Chains A and B, each alone.
Chain A
Amino acid sequence: MGRSIAGVTEVDFALIGHQESWRAAADVLAVLRGPERTPLPDDEIRDILPWLPPRAVCHVDIESLGGARARGLYIDSFIAPDRLADAYVRDNIARVREAAAYAIKAGAKIVSLGGFSSILIEGNFDQLPQRHATVFTTGNTLTVGFIVQGIRKMCAMEGRDLRRSTLLIVGATGDLGSGCARCLAGDVRRVLLTARNMERLRRLAVELEAEGVAVEVATDLRQFSSEADVVICAASLASPSLLLGRVAPEAIICDAGFPKNLAPGAEMPGAKVFFGGLGQVMGGLRFTPDFHGVLNRHPFPDVVHGCLLEGMALALERRFEPFSQGRGFITPERVEEVETIAARHGIYLAPLYNADGPLEETAESSCLPALLPA
């Protein structure tokens, strides 16, 4: 029979994801076809992918530095890369729901929702199939942790004093944006929040102001002057040029949206853009069949999105609980808790990089103990 990854009766975790580009989707299908077959032409991939029902693509084995092991499945929802827009929300939620049912059937104890799946479901948990033995987490708490760690690290690398900075969060009322705001607001001079919903913005501002933080809100980025020198894009921006004239010319910009599409552009040559929310597994990470560099397409080894790593860290910890659910519940205390769990198993902030490549010389330099949560 064809290559099989079946035969394993028990999995600790499942990761639900999808490919963020047609190139990535082509690479996944190329691995499934095997090296002896001609890769599918791009137009065939665009024809076939939207028809594939969600299902497991490979097994994932993770090992902590302390020797703990967990086994899981990567389940692709096969959401097409060009169907992430609002027009496809219902179909995409149905796909995530189907992937969730697959995870339940496979016996996963904890399920992490990766990438766009997390965005779709964070306000729609009631739409997931329910089964007592399987819990779901968006993984957003660890993602927030890695975003915040990345901001601090980038400031340190650039010799910036975060306490004197003005922080702008784009997509501030989402789970990631509000979590980052709560974690960083007390560390900066001023906070600017932007999102589409003014009522939610006001509520978040009131919450932060109660902590003595100076906050400004706007539904339109253009209402802000250009003083923000630290920026977190928690929601995808169509183009970095939208930030042009709205942030300081040499701003540190964390692209924490999905898909990550901010490139250091010619318009803002002084801006320091990095991809945020990513962690690195220092113990061991294995895909069966071998999807290394295909499912995790990063310039450093064993780098994975924080949202997926949260479920893997909790599985290694044998804490099968819905750690991150809903929208707006991420607190600095919860972030610290999950960061500590992750660090205990050798899961740390990934080396920083952007679309142009690594921003650090060595992978090892990202794992300095000083950057870990206390």
Chain B
Amino acid sequence: MEPAIDSKCALPAAFTSLSPSALIWQDVLAQAMTGELLAAMNYTSLADICDDPAEVADALEHAQGERGHAAAFAAEGRRIGVSVTNNVDARHWKRLRQAFLRCIAERDFIACLIVQEIMLESFAVASYARVGKVAPGTLGKTFAAIAAEEEEHIEHAMEILRAERALDEQRFDDKVYQLHLEVMTTLAEMLARDCSHGHCEVCHGSCVKPALPDVRLSAAELRGASLHQYLKTLDKLGLPGEVTLTWVAQLPV
């Protein structure tokens, strides 16, 4: 698939020699940009199954917002002198997209929201917030600002999902669990300490994870923060904390 954002722009002349940290940020940005473009594709697909014109408009607006985030990440790459590529067909991202498309095929609007807003966005918000704390200058500010915007998305979806859960708690919780098994397993594998199943197909060279401590990050921290955010989001939805704890404890490492 062609990258949705053309990143083959000219690099500033000043960055003829890149610092090692710039190459780390390049991969961090590539993962984030891929996630944003996948989210944009998901929202576009969601618009296809919405009956209410207001919901269609809402989904398309979200899709546009996610493309804006991807563009912002690409711009941050240019600012530090690196080209940020994306690959929504990379192994993990592709599985996440396929999981979402199955929900679309079933025209299951609620399942779509659970996958995108509860699972994927939890990881985005938590990861971006951590990156936002340690990344220098505008790079950090961009990650922090996008984390805040994504959090607003979640709040919007929470109202819909809480209302849905109120109709039939057990049915809702069963649905979340089935989606958890597929989507969260993939996300947990993505953020495992090392990519034991092979290259992720997004990092431009070798896996970036071992180098993350050089920019005061770690895969363990990103995974921990993401799972924490996920559990807290499920708490807000009203799922029993003792049950969701078991779900998370059973994820692969």
- Tell me if B220 counts as interface (CB < 8 A to partner A): yes
Residues B250 and A37 in contact, CB atoms below 8 Å apart: yes
Residues B235 and A40 in contact, CB atoms below 8 Å apart: no
Contact with A along B209-253 (1 / 0, CB 8 A): 000000000001001110110011001000011111111111001
In chain A, what residue has the closest Cβ to B242? Answer: A56
Interface residues on B, range: 20 to 34
Residues of A within 8 A of B165 (CB): none
- Tell me if B173 counts as interface (CB < 8 A to partner A): yes
- How close is B6's CB to chain A, nearest CB, in angstroms? 38
Residues of A within 8 A of B223 (CB): 47-48, 51
Residues of B within 8 A of A58 (CB): 242
Interface residues on A, range: 20 to 34
Bound CA–CA A48/B224 (angstroms): 6
Bound CA–CA A5/B247 (angstroms): 12
- Tell me if A41 counts as interface (CB < 8 A to partner B): yes
Residues B242 and A55 in contact, CB atoms below 8 Å apart: yes
Given A41-B253, A44-B193, A4:B243 Cβ within 8 A = yes
Given A1-B174, A34-B250, A50-B224, A55:B245 Cβ within 8 A = yes
Residues B247 and A2 in contact, CB atoms below 8 Å apart: yes
Count the A-B residue pairs with Cβ separation under 8 angstroms: how many? 75
Bound CA–CA A232/B141 (angstroms): 54
Contact with B along A35-49 (1 / 0, CB 8 A): 001001101100110
Residues of B within 8 A of A102 (CB): 241
Residues B243 and A2 in contact, CB atoms below 8 Å apart: yes
Residues of A within 8 A of B227 (CB): 48, 51-52
Bound CA–CA A40/B170 (angstroms): 29
- Tell me if A6 counts as interface (CB < 8 A to partner B): yes
Bound CA–CA A1/B173 (angstroms): 8
- Tell me if A3 counts as interface (CB < 8 A to partner B): yes
Residues A2 and B177 in contact, CB atoms below 8 Å apart: yes
- Tell me if A57 counts as interface (CB < 8 A to partner B): yes
- Tell me if A343 counts as interface (CB < 8 A to partner B): no
- How close is B211's CB to chain A, nearest CB, in angstroms? 17
Interface residue from A40, A47, A53 paired with B232 (Cβ < 8 Å):
A53
Residues of B within 8 A of A56 (CB): 240-242, 245
- Tell me if A24 counts as interface (CB < 8 A to partner B): no
Bound CA–CA A58/B224 (angstroms): 22
- How close is B185's CB to chain A, nearest CB, in angstroms? 12
Contact with A along B168-179 (1 / 0, CB 8 A): 001001100100
Contact with B along A1-23 (1 / 0, CB 8 A): 11111100000000000000000
Q: Which B residues have a C-beta under 8 Å from some C-beta of A? A: 170, 173-174, 177, 193, 220, 223-225, 227-228, 231-232, 235, 240-250, 253
A1-B174, A2-B243 given. 6 additional CB < 8 A pairs?
A3-B246, A44-B253, A55-B242, A56-B240, A56-B242, A56-B245
